[in-house]
Structure 1
Amino acid sequence: MSRGRAGGFVERGTEGACRFVQSHPEGAVVSLVVQPGARKTALAGVHDGAVKITVCAPPVEGAANKECLRFLAALVGTAKNRVVLLRGHKSRTKLVLVKGTSAEKLVSIFQAFGLGEERPSPPSNGS
């Protein structure tokens, strides 16, 4: 295991595994990249090895963090108080603990929305 970009631990060389979700003694940890000030709150794919979420709240006084945690709780189907921001209170990259949820469940939820391993961008044709 080694340190990932969002500060979490990522498995290296695991075929087909989602690098942005890891097991934790209390549940599962997910690496996020949050884009505040968007038109709507939604999953926006995978960016730099983390799940990208756009949030409609501004990055003021924790509003974007609160909206991100609310959205993640609704997506997983758990109570808001079971989703905890571990790292990244003032950063776009965040580490979030979802208590009482297995890493496998989180991976299956993200895969149901078409998120998996980050795919390389297609090469541009130069025009």
Structure 2
Amino acid sequence: MLNREQVTAAIREWMERVQGADAQLNAAADLFGGLDYDGPLPGAVSALSGGYTKAVSKIVGDEGDWLEYFWIDCAFGATPMGVIPDDDAQEIKIDGPEAIAEVICWDREHGEAAR
């Protein structure tokens, strides 16, 4: 099992690659004056990013779909949301890879964290 530092590093690499894929897709949209986001190219990029997310989730022990939460709901920390992992715990603001790694590691060691 990966330790928190390793989980954080894996999340950081995943985040950078997904953001990079999104940036390239946006650059293509700018170049062509827009893209049909229901079309084949955006669909393929989305499917790859989603599959990559599921694979990294398995590697880091994310059984609560926290990477997806970090990606979609928190926009990789651009719109930080809070997680309270236990009744007696402090809220964790999901503002970067370190924060979501903390939640994933807490979750896999103690059970499902509250959202």
TM-score range, shorter chain: under 0.3
TM-score normalised by length of structure 1: 0.26
Structure with bigger gyration radius: 2
TM-score normalised by length of structure 2: 0.28
Q: Which has the higher helix share?
A: 2
Q: Which has the higher strand share?
A: 1
